[in-house]
Amino acid sequence: MTERRVEEERRGFSRRAFLQGAGGVAAASSLTEAVHAAQDPASEVQRMRGPEEVELRVNGGTLPATVEPRTTLLDALRHRVDPPLTGTKLVCGEGACGACTVLVDGRPMYACMLLAADVVGREIRTVEGLADGDGLSPVQEAFCEKDGLMCGFCTPGFLMSATGLLERKPDADAEEVRRALSGNFCRCGTQPHIFEAVAEAGRRLREGGR
């Protein structure tokens, strides 16, 4: 095909809509017909057709949230629970950066690549759930002490990945740390300090921290 023909085809093609964002922030869309979920007891096929209130288990508590079928966990955390949990960040919206990493049943996952309705009943932890009444978690403390953060936008995701690793394997070696953090980007390039922080957090955990 000649360039010219390709160009002509292009023009004829539907207008570019670009990646239009994570979809439906905040209030229920005025264009979406709100249909409550219907349950068909005979077939046991659950159907969710529109906005529905679900209960998310987040940071040890239960949070009601009105979500659509397409609402991602990230969207729900940032915009649909009260208070909003905005520590988890939207960066790429396509599982390509790690800034929205949360723990789902203890395992790091991208909140932007999970449907909120799909993780109902699973235990979710976000950066807001790391510190408790006694103060920062060992991982948070080590990130502050070793300066494992610059602009801070990727930091919550790194904290969750590091926590996911160290809670299962506090004696993780340097290679395991690098591997566990390889789904998170720090564009400021402070990886050396992050590695140091995670190593320090591991030491503290082994010495009987939380």
Task: For the segment 72-131, give every residue that binds another protein (CB under 8 A).
Answer: 72, 84-99, 101, 104, 107-110, 112-115, 117-118, 126-128, 130-131
CA angle 120, 123, 128 (to 5 degrees): 110
- Shortest CB 206 distance to another protein, Å: 21
Is 167 among the residues that bind another protein (CB under 8 A)?
no
- Shortest CB 114 distance to another protein, Å: 6
Instruction: Give SS3 for 22.
Output: coil
Within 133-162, the residues that bind another protein by CB under 8 A are: 136, 140, 143-145, 147, 149-156, 159, 161
Chosen residue from 63, 81, 180, 205 binding another protein by CB under 8 A: 180
- Shortest CB 204 distance to another protein, Å: 14
Is 9 among the residues that bind another protein (CB under 8 A)?
yes
In the complex with another protein, the residue whose CB is nearer, 9 or 206, is 9
26 burial (CB, 10 Å; 0-12 / 13-18 / 19+) is exposed
130 burial (CB, 10 Å; 0-12 / 13-18 / 19+) is buried
Structure-token match 């394997």, residue found: 169
Within 37-76, the residues that bind another protein by CB under 8 A are: 43-50, 68-70, 72
- Shortest CB 64 distance to another protein, Å: 18
Q: HSE-up of 208 (CA within 13 Å, CB side)?
A: 0
Is 187 among the residues that bind another protein (CB under 8 A)?
yes
112 burial (CB, 10 Å; 0-12 / 13-18 / 19+) is buried
CA–CA dist 65, 68 (Å, integer) = 10
